[in-house]
Structure 1
Amino acid sequence: MDLLNETPLQPGWLILPLPGRSYGAAFAVKGTYQLQPDSPAIPAETPEALEGDVPEAEGSAALRYTRDLTAPKPAVDLLFAGEAYAPGAKPTDMMPVTVQVGTWAKTLAVLGDRRKTKGLLLSKISDPLPFTRMPLTWSRAWGGVESTQNPAGRGLDVEIDEKGAVFTRLPNIVRLGEAGLDPGALKEPAGFGPVSPAWEARDAIARRAHYGAKWLKERWPAPPEDFDPDFFQAAPADQRLASGNLRGDEAITFHNLHPARARYRSALPGLRPRLFIEEQDPSHKEAPVLFREVPLRIDTLWADPSADKLILIWRGFSPVRSMKLREISAILVAQEPLGQAPAPAETYQALLARKRAERAAAAAAPPPAPPAFEPLEIAAPDSSMEALEKEWEADHASRMAELDALVKETDNETRGAAAAALASEGLPTAIVHSTPPSDPASIAAQAAKDHQAITTLNPDAAKLLSQPPTEAMLDAEGKVQAEIDAFEKDFALPFFPPGPDAPPG
């Protein structure tokens, strides 16, 4: 399905079961606007998405906003939120607040906080406390936890204060003429906001229908034949306009509902949204493609004058063939000024064809060439760094040579001392040349032990060892030592004689 929407409006739809295992779609188009003093509302910078019921506060049974997607409403819901503001920010204990849309108007009385305290014989109602602002919520209207009409309200719940006094908080929002009444005489809440479908005013409507065996057999999952669609009206009964009685350009006025303007006059935006569908019977490939309009009308107005915010919902209904709208290949949403005559459907059918052609051309176009990049310049090697590296290598080689010479000198001195120690004991000195470098005492002791072992096991070998080394032997030993020295120099691993001062391995 293609969805063409070049407006700030947010479209959506709700599939509804109908009798005879058929379906219908309730199409909704949501517009979000910013109220303007003494001029029509303008589209909001950020359009709001479609949403469901929104409570007044987390966990509250009362609603601040009612869901956007619902079945068609027989009448127009007028809904309001926000706060009451004392004129000029001067504290007051009571004042009226009024909302007017076109020729429709409603006024309520707002009072400061009061309480009814129970005495031994009589109860006492306190005077209202002065206030400068008061939230227009159901929690401030008549009701209580046990109330089926407003479980979020006040006036019925009994509390005990820190001094042990038994009291009841009294409602801040009442109808004109009810302000001076004993709260016990109140029978229903007064407010401007949406009524929850779980509250008696709406729930009783749903329960009046007959959900019997006949309904299950003949209509389910569609509602019963005697189901009253007034259930879908979220506004209080005195905040509904007859169907079609709201064009969309009416004046809207608020009294004592704006922080800076005691009288705030604006107007609806004066726009006409339109919604078209393109469909074809999916079971017949040769079936003609139909392009038709789903007529829309305003059925919900919601405003928060304290935030300069206005929301309008236009809704339309159309039978459909499937729950997934398989037969609908495109939905087009447009809008026009109310002051202009409606454009013919052919205008929008041509618009849909043109947009599809543009999209197809864009898809067929070759991908754009990759951006050209400037060649990366690699800096030449730093000559100063090369010089430092050569200097370091030369210094390292010099230090290794000095260390190698020191090791050889130490080794020769150690062997000479060991040979002298052996000679003083009458032992042959030739064995010193076959022992690893160590301290003289260790070399002498090890050589004596080796000589004793050789003498015991092989007298001829002992005789040979007692003779001084020949020149050929010394030459061979020199060659071996030279190879060892070369190996140590190449790998920078000088040989250190083991001992207490030797570096760790």
Structure 2
Amino acid sequence: MLQLKNTTPFFASMAVFPNEQGIDTLYVAIKATFELGKTLAIAPKQQPIILADEYWGQPGASSVKYASEMHLTKPSTDVVLIGEASAPDQREVTQLDVAVVVAERKKVVRVFGDREWRGGLFGLRMTSPAPFRSMPLVYERAFGGIHDRTAEEKGILYEARNPVGSGFTGKRRRKDINGMPIPNLEDPADLISGHGARPHPAGFGYIAPSWEPRKSFAGTYDEAWQKKRAPYLPQDFNPRFFNMAHPDLVCDGYLRGGEPVEVLNASPRGPFKCYLPVCRLEAVVRLAGKKQAPPLNLETVLIEPNESRLSMLWRAALPCDKQALKVEQIDIGIQSLDLEAKAA
């Protein structure tokens, strides 16, 4: 009988399903949760592995809060932040920059108070941003949205990179744009210049599987796929589909631990700096009487300042083809853990 023995203080899970080539594969995931304080510490309550996408509101009509962590391997590490912009000392501001730096990845989002398009003698103009103390960092407040023209039998236009956002004017007439909200979250290098602008949606959260650019990596599900490939993934499937972070926060390879982390203006507690824990984990699989230790790659770094929480998720993959039922035991252990080490 298959047993998973986990001697680490972290959460672990396993699953068997076909990989990109349709070969039955054992996937082992280990998720470590740390408390963010003056120093990092192992959280007394470890967060479970997310089995399916969880949304901020209605699925399909809102953005993803937590992405599924049961899937094939990612080709590189995702960095994600969930939280809200927070003005220093909780004072009112009309705009501020939120920044996240992890290793070589740096992402800055400029956060504005509520604004709208207002008509005047010289056309539409932006109103001044309203004061705020905090602002949710969700894609609903970034550029995007839809323009439903079904009443005129002209179909629906939408921003494929963020259909739940705001500011997308589509084919609306000027009088219909008057009073429309302007996104709160913007890229400082690509600020909105007019009501017809289409900047990149700005944010730090997960990208939904039906949004671009993830959708373009999913492959082709046509008649040929149905006849020759289904139910396996299509031949042109790209594993980058499983990179769910904002494209600016997808690393070039796997992080190893020890990389610097810095977050600015995303917590009422103020800015913080730390280093990713250096954690040497091991997953030993006994398959048909033989032991194997597939490499564990760090796939996700999730920062939740409001929860004073940082999570890291590693995954290993072991193709077992027709021997899936011969997986006898999985031993998960920790070889070393350093909460203050710096990357070499």
Mark yes or no: TM-score above 0.5. Answer: yes
**DSSP 3-state at the match of 2:111:** strand
Structure 2 counterpart of 1:95? 96
Structure 1 counterpart of 2:149? none
Structure 1 counterpart of 2:292? 292
Aligned residues of 1:18 and 1:221 also touching (Cα < 8 A): no
Distance 2:221 2:165 in 1: 31
Partner amino acid, structure 2, of 1:224: P
Structure 1 residues 314 and 167: CA distance shift in structure 2, 3 A:
same
Does 2:78 align with 1:74? no
Structure 1 residues 141 and 98: CA distance shift in structure 2, 3 A:
same
Q: Deviations over 1:232-261 (max 9, x none)?
A: 1101221111223x1122221111112021
Q: Which runs of 5+ in 1 are unaligned?
A: 159-163, 281-288, 340-505
Structure 1 counterpart of 2:208? 196
The structure that has the greater radius of gyration is 1
Structure 1 residues 152 and 77: CA distance shift in structure 2, 3 A:
same
Give TM-score scaled by structure 1 length: 0.59
Structure 1 residues 290 and 24: CA distance shift in structure 2, 3 A:
same
Does 2:270 align with 1:254? no
Partner amino acid, structure 1, of 2:48: A
Aligned residues of 1:62 and 1:139 also touching (Cα < 8 A): yes
Which runs of structure 2 are paired with 1:102-501 in the superposition (5 Å)?
102-119=103-120, 122-145=123-146, 146-156=158-168, 166-179=178-191, 181-207=193-219, 209=220, 211-213=222-224, 216-217=227-228, 219-244=229-254, 246-261=255-270, 263-280=271-288, 289-322=289-322, 325-338=324-337
Give TM-score scaled by structure 2 length: 0.85
Q: Deviations over 1:324-350 (max 9, x none)?
A: x320111111112256xxxxxxxxxxx
Partner amino acid, structure 1, of 2:326: E
Structure 2 counterpart of 1:14? 15
Structure 1 residues 279 and 166: CA distance shift in structure 2, 3 A:
same
Deviation at 1:226, TM superposition (A): 2.2
**DSSP 3-state at the match of 1:184:** coil
Structure 2 counterpart of 1:446? none
Partner amino acid, structure 2, of 1:153: G
Distance 2:64 2:20 in 1: 31
Q: Deviations over 1:392-437 (max 9, x none)?
A: xxxxxxxxxxxxxxxxxxxxxxxxxxxxxxxxxxxxxxxxxxxxxx
Deviation at 1:206, TM superposition (A): 1.8
**DSSP 3-state at the match of 2:218:** helix
Distance 1:49 1:20 in 2: 29
Q: Which runs of 5+ in 2 are unaligned?
A: 147-157, 171-175, 339-344
> Which structure shows the higher helix fraction?
1
Distance 1:139 1:19 in 2: 32
Q: Deviations over 1:43-63 (max 9, x none)?
A: 211112111211123454311
Partner amino acid, structure 2, of 1:222: Y
Structure 1 residues 35 and 19: CA distance shift in structure 2, 3 A:
closer
**DSSP 3-state at the match of 2:293:** strand
Aligned residues of 2:53 and 2:68 also touching (Cα < 8 A): yes
Structure 1 counterpart of 2:41? 42
Distance 1:20 1:108 in 2: 38
**DSSP 3-state at the match of 1:242:** coil
Deviation at 1:299, TM superposition (A): 0.9
Deviation at 1:131, TM superposition (A): 1.0
Deviation at 1:196, TM superposition (A): 0.2
Structure 1 residues 79 and 4: CA distance shift in structure 2, 3 A:
same
Aligned residues of 1:84 and 1:136 also touching (Cα < 8 A): yes
**DSSP 3-state at the match of 2:45:** coil
Comparing 251-260 with 120-129, greater Cα deviation is found at: 120-129
Q: CA RMSD in A?
A: 2.4
**DSSP 3-state at the match of 2:251:** strand
Aligned residues of 1:143 and 1:150 also touching (Cα < 8 A): yes
The count of residues paired between Structure 1 and Structure 2 equals 319
Partner amino acid, structure 2, of 1:102: A
Q: Deviations over 1:172-210 (max 9, x none)?
A: 100013446224213331111010001132112224x46
Partner amino acid, structure 2, of 1:279: L
Distance 1:276 1:331 in 2: 6
Partner amino acid, structure 1, of 2:253: S
Distance 2:119 2:77 in 1: 43
Distance 1:140 1:25 in 2: 39
Structure 1 residues 182 and 250: CA distance shift in structure 2, 3 A:
same
Partner amino acid, structure 2, of 1:241: C
Distance 1:53 1:214 in 2: 25
Aligned residues of 1:156 and 1:168 also touching (Cα < 8 A): no
Structure 1 residues 61 and 20: CA distance shift in structure 2, 3 A:
closer
Distance 2:20 2:121 in 1: 62
**DSSP 3-state at the match of 2:280:** strand
Partner amino acid, structure 2, of 1:48: Q
Aligned residues of 1:42 and 1:269 also touching (Cα < 8 A): no
Distance 1:293 1:136 in 2: 39
Deviation at 1:121, TM superposition (A): 6.2
Distance 2:299 2:332 in 1: 18
Q: Deviations over 1:457-497 (max 9, x none)?
A: xxxxxxxxxxxxxxxxxxxxxxxxxxxxxxxxxxxxxxxxx
Distance 1:133 1:95 in 2: 10
Higher relative contact order (CA 8 A, sep 6+): 2
**DSSP 3-state at the match of 1:139:** helix
> Which structure shows the higher strand fraction?
2
